[in-house]
Amino acid sequence: MPPLTDEPVEHAAPTSTLSSNAWARALTAAHDTSAHQNHPTHTLYVVATPIGNLSDITLRALHLLNLCEVIACEDTRHTQQLLRAYGIDKSGAQLIALHQHNEHEAAQTVISRLTQGQRVAYVSDAGTPAISDPGARLVDATRNAGFRVLPLPGASSVTTVLSAAGMTGQDGFVFVGFLPSKATERQHAVQKLASETRAIVLLEAPHRIEALCQALSVLGTRRVTIGRELTKQFENIDTLAACELPAWLAGKPERQRGEFVLVIHDAPAAHVQGDGLRVLQLLLPELPLKTAVKLAAEISGESKNFLYDQALVLKNAAAE
C-alpha cells in the first residue's frame, strides 16, 4: 500500500508494519471492548484518526468506523486507504466528501442521512477534526438540525507537541494555527504574538516554514519547540531560542521537509518584547533604520542592540 497522506499538519503517513491478521485481531478486540457500549443512531460521530503512525488509532474508533453506515471525510481516496489498512470494508457509496470547499452543501447531505436514522462518522485526513481542519460547520449545522454530535477522542498534533515541549508555566496555551501567508500580514501577526505571555501553538507547511522561522526570530530569546513529522519515522523535536530558528532550519536540508507544529513557550510579561517591536514597525517606514532603532529604544526602554537586530529582520522580510 502506498504511503497515506495526512492533514495540513502531518503529511505522508508511513505504511503500517502490522500484518492483515494483526489488524483483524485489532478489529476483534475493538468489537469486544466497544460493542456493549451505546452507539445511537441519528448521530454524527466526530472521529480522531492518526496523525502519522497508523497504530495510534483507538479501539473505539475502529469499532465505530466499522459500525457506521456512512463516513464523511475530507478526502475519500485517503480515507478509503486508511480503512483498507485496518481491514474495514466500505463501498464508495458509503463515503461522502466533505472538505473546506463544500462543507456547507455536504453538511446537508449528512443531515439527510441522519434523518434516515443512520450513524455518520466524520474524519479529517488526520488527527482530530474541526480544529484546524474542516468539520466545525458540519458540527454546527448538525446541532442546529436537532441531531446529536458525539466526539471520539484520539490523536492531535497540538497536544502531541505540547506534551513534548516541557513547558513549566501554569497559564495554559493559545492555539493560533496557521499565520497569514503574506509577509506584511505575517509580521503584524507576530507583533501581536510578541505581547502574549501564554504559550502559543502554530502550524506550518514545508513551503512556508522558512518564512515563518524568519518572522518568529524577532521574538529573540523566547524559547520555541518545533516538531516535524510527529509520530512518523523521521520525527524531529527541538527546542531553541526564536532568534536561532533560521540558522537551525538551514543547518540540515531535511529540516525543511515535512509538516510542522511549533510551540512558542510561555514568557513572563516583563520579558515580552512587545512595545519596542510595535514602535519599531511604525517608525521604520518613515525614518532611516538607525534613527528608528534609536527612537524605539528610547520610547520603549528596550535594548538598542536587540531592536537593531529585529529591524534588520523586518527590513529583509519587507524586501521579500
Q: Tell me how far apart the alpha carbons of residues 64 and 86 are, in angstroms, rounded to a whole number.
A: 13
Taking the chain (320 residues) in runs of 10, the rounded mean pLDDT of each run is 34 53 92 95 98 96 97 97 96 96 96 98 96 93 98 96 88 93 90 88 96 92 95 95 95 92 82 69 88 88 78 70
CATH for 158-272?
3.30.950.10
Alpha carbons 88 and 111: distance in angstroms, whole number: 24
Q: For residue 173, what pLDDT is reported?
A: 94
The two domains 20-155 and 158-272 share their CATH topology (first three levels equal)? no
Q: What distances in angstroms separate CA 239 from CA 56, 236, 248, 288, one per listed residue?
A: 24, 10, 10, 35
Write the CB contacts of 203 (distance below 8 Å, at least 6 apart in sequence).
8, 9, 132, 157, 177, 178, 259, 260, 261, 262
Where in the chain are the domains?
20-155, 158-272
Half-sphere exposure of 235 (CA within 13 A, CB side): 14
CA gap 250, 178 in Å, rounded: 21
216: Cβ contacts below 8 Å, ≥ 6 apart: 190, 224, 242, 245, 262, 264
Residue-level pLDDT at 10: 37
Q: What is the DSSP string of 6-66?
A: --TTS-SBPPP-S-HHHHHHHHHHHHHHHTTS---SSEEEEE-B-SS-GGG--HHHHHHHH
261 burial (CB, 10 Å; 0-12 / 13-18 / 19+) is buried
> Contact at 8 Å (CB) between 243 and 214?
no
Q: What is the pTM of this model?
A: 0.80
What pLDDT sits at residue 264?
A: 96
At 277, list the grid cell. Answer: 517591536
Strand (E) positions, 65-189? 70-73, 95-97, 119-123, 148-152, 173-177
> Angle CA(248)–CA(252)–CA(258) in degrees, nearest 5?
90
Distance CA 106, CA 38 (A): 27
Backbone angles phi, psi at 152, to 5 degrees: -110, 105
Cα angle 250-252-257, degrees, rounded to a multiple of 5: 90
Which residue, among 220, 262, 212, 217, has the nearest Cα to 239 in the 3D structure? Answer: 262
Residue that has been written with the C-alpha cell 509577509 in this structure? 183
Whole-angstrom distance, CA of residue 181 vs CA of residue 197: 24
Q: Which residue, 121, 114, 57, is CA-closest to 95?
A: 121
CB crowding 212-229: b at 16 or more within 10 Å, else e: bbbbbbbbbebbbbbbbb
Write down the architecture of domain 20-155 according to CATH.
3-Layer(aba) Sandwich (3.40)
Instruction: Look at the block and give the residue holding cell 527590513.
Output: 315
